[in-house]
Amino acid sequence: MSDALIRLTATEAVAALKARKVSPLELIDAAAARIAVVEPAVNALPTLCLDRARERARRMGAMPEHPGALHGLPVVIKDLVDVAGVRTTYGSPLFAEHVPATSHPLVERIEALGGIVIGKSNTPEFGAGGNTFNEVFGRTLNPWNTSLTCGGSSGGAAVALATGEAWLAHGSDHGGSLRGPATLTGVVGLRPSPGRVTRGTPANLFSPLSVQGPMARTVADIALFLDTMAGHDRRDPMSFEAPAIPFSVAARSPKPPRRIAFTADYGGAVPVERETRELCARAALRFAEAGVVVEEAHPDLGPAADVFLALRSQHFLVDRELQLQAHRDKLKPDIIWNTELALAQTPSRLAWAERERAALYRRFLAFFETYDLLVTPGAPTPAWDVTQRARTVVDGRKLDSYIAGSLLTSAITLTSCPALSVPCGLDRHGRPVGLQLIAPPRGEAALLAAGAVFERIAPWAGNFPLDPRPGSVPPDA
């Protein structure tokens, strides 16, 4: 019974809960059994709160009807976000024993709508980094090959999904922290438009760079979780109301886009490994099977890499300046580097970055007058050696920072466009490769519909749950 339950999609599990064919307690027990089996091999969920979950499930079971869209479905929350009474470390030694008294506003919303938190997923320190490791809990390993990284910073969330430890996982995304791990582990991830999902009460209340979002194993499950997350929160001045028509409707009855553009590397402006370019090009062309016009085209990125670095560093300065002053010796080098970049840059440099971001946004808007979607690879390479902090070379080009390997995703962050990562195949070493589907701002419904169309053409979810596989690092990884 336990094995059968973890094989359900989130949508199927919620339907079973709603019909009272299964109880929240049974799903918690199924997840706990699976976690006990696979967690030693992957280290995705270092903090569990199963007693808290079971108590909430018992209270829910006493209700005449399970509340909300999730009806008692177990979920996992990234360890950057507070859950009341549950150890929440942000991946930092500074908060290694931190137990918050109250939950993040998004967790409050998820629990009010029937989600039951069963654990916290691993993340790099303060979410900084494209490889999930920290000094509190160590490394999270990719279940497709445990010698490889799962990406970051929502790496624990992605691995929990891929291995069947959870049906839905919360993630967050700044430069690709949700989309990258989804791509490297073969799951699905959505970076929503800024304001679609509350970010709670961060110091960067008015920045559109960092967002919260859903991760899952199917597009329909992403839509289900987005319906749970989306909506206005008065504590977040950028948030806005959820649409009248649920996103799940778009995923259930998907309408293909009329015309999409594909680019493997923006005309060579972004380094992408050759095999990844070829696999993604073939996958994008499969949209034609649904009657979609597929053309090779792309907007001009301009100096997006430098723009993102300038704005990201300012974001870090707001978040980490005081910690840098008080605890420099306890922060990892990536955080110090990002923060000190902002301290060194001039006001004129920051003003230049804002002007260039506005120009990039206008170029994307003009591009979407011709195309419904832009499609790119989800990452420049498949997963690499887990002992390396980040990629250092892509397609023979040396990268000058760990952020440089994320331009496919960070450039989209600058535009405020929603982006969906969907798996599309395996490379010659058996590593997942994925597509990034990008829609105009606030175009999540059309984006999810397109993702569902692709998923029907190229079904993938049958690969899960995945038993972790030991392996060696490919020679080119």
Q: Is the pTM of this model over 0.95?
A: yes
Closest residue by Cα to residue 250 from 285, 288, 289, 224: 224
Q: Is the pLDDT of residue 14 over 90?
A: yes
How far is the C-alpha of 122 from the C-alpha of 159, rounded, in Å?
A: 10
> Taking residues 86-95, what's their average pLDDT?
98
- Kindly indicate the confidence band of residue 476, based on its pLDDT and cuts at 50, 70 and 90: confident
Span 227-251, pLDDT tens digits: 999 999 999 999 999 999 999 999 9
How far is the C-alpha of 56 from the C-alpha of 50, rounded, in Å?
A: 10
Both tokens assigned to 310: 């300038």
How far is the C-alpha of 362 from the C-alpha of 358, rounded, in Å?
A: 6
What integer pLDDT is reported at residue 451 of this predicted model?
98
Domains, the chain, ordered by start: 2-463 (3.90.1300.10)
Closest residue by Cα to residue 29 from 87, 137, 116: 116
What integer pLDDT is reported at residue 65 of this predicted model?
77
Q: Which residues are catalytic?
A: 78, 153, 177
pLDDT, mean over the chain: 97
